[in-house]
Copies of this chain bind each other. A is one copy, B any other.
Amino acid sequence: MEKQKSMEMGKQQQQQQPEEEESSHYNRGGLNNLPPLRCIVKLGGAAITCKHEIEKTNEENLRTVSSQLRQAMMTESSSAKVSGMDWSKGLGNLEVPTADDFEKNPMLNAGNFVIVHGAGSFGHFQASRSGVHKGGLQLPFVKAGFVATRISVTSLNLEIVRALAREGIPSVGMSPFACGWSTWERNIAHADISQLSKTIDCGFVPVLHGDAVFDDLQGCTILSGDVIIRHLAQLLHPKYVVFLTDVLGVYDRPPQDSNAVLLKEIAVDEDGSWSIVKPILETNKVEIRVASHDTTGGMATKISEAAMIAKLGIDVYIVKAGTSHSLRALTGEITRSIPDDWLGTVIRFSKQTNATD
């Protein structure tokens, strides 16, 4: 198989790589005793919120995604009755389950998942209006924007935790800001994951999110969900990472373009450059679009982050949320060989790809 290499893309990706990474103050806590993490899932903001309506979740998508996550975590039959873990009022006439309900149900293999979500139509407006991503916390308007952004993204986090809990997933919200995560020139500088590790160890599913955080150089910034995912992948080394988005995967040009081709497999080289393995295209140029309201980089960041995860030897799947394709990716069904009827993008380390050629 001939590989088409785009050095242009490789360069772009390398520029975004944080140079001070080696000197970051990672705290790995008691990680040596951790069971292997199965999967880190990114719930893309575009997949779970209504893009064009400020602060509105896409409830149908969120319900389907939560249900698929439950199926992926199930150790036994998926036909068992779901005992929800959101016991708040305002959920209609749902009865709060009893101890017996939980004893009878097959336990979820929940300890093996971490969920990170983006902001979608939450937070972006507040952050971009006040310039939180550009720093300047001494300015009253930036400080106010920091508060407004956190209110918006934590309200989305709560909605997602509740949707997961209703499906019986033992989810707990963990804000990077409250966890004390901070950045240096917008790259992660400090991220103690000891509480996160303990939470996974205890069988919970931590739910993190893109957040407004302190930046040691510029005062504050927005830490995107994609950067969080890469960071966690480096430290926790899951078997695979799934990005759930609102399109089938990565295309060679904007997916709205009728000529857009879905890239089914992308290989990442040791030097960080990418090449499209499947399908074989006439041109190897991929257009990268960044939405104007997106303070965290959009698709360019997503592909760069995914490539850096793949370089660690971790398979990355980019799939459309709430489809049969996303369910197959979440359950880990898509392994070395990609079924012809599966639609999505796999990003893998090229060394592994070569080994199976």
B-binding residues in A (CB < 8 A): 54-55, 83, 85-90, 96-99, 102-103, 105, 107, 125-126, 129-130, 137, 139-141, 143-148, 150-152, 154-155, 158, 161-162, 165, 170-175, 177-180, 192, 194-195, 198, 202-204, 214, 219
Contacts and interface: CB of A to CB of B under 8 A. Distances in A.
Copies in the complex: 2
B171 A147 contact: yes
B179 A125 contact: no
Contacts of A130: 99
B170 A143 contact: yes
A173 to B, nearest CB: 6
A89 B202 CA distance: 37
Contacts of A102: 139-141, 144
B154 A173 contact: yes
Contacts of A55: 88-90
A165 B179 contact: no
Contacts of A194: 180
Contact of A195 (B154, B180, B198): B180
6 contacts: A102-B141, A143-B203, A147-B172, A151-B161, A175-B178, A202-B219
A99 B141 contact: yes
Nearest to A55: B89
A275 to B, nearest CB: 40
A170 B158 contact: no
Nearest to A56: B89
Nearest to A121: B89
Chain B CB within 10 Å, residue with most, of A83, A87, A143: A87
Given A87-B148, A97-B144, A148-B85, A195 B178 contact: yes
A33 to B, nearest CB: 15
A137 B125 CA distance: 40
Given A147-B165, A173-B178, A202 B88 contact: no
A139 B102 CA distance: 9
A54 B96 CA distance: 14
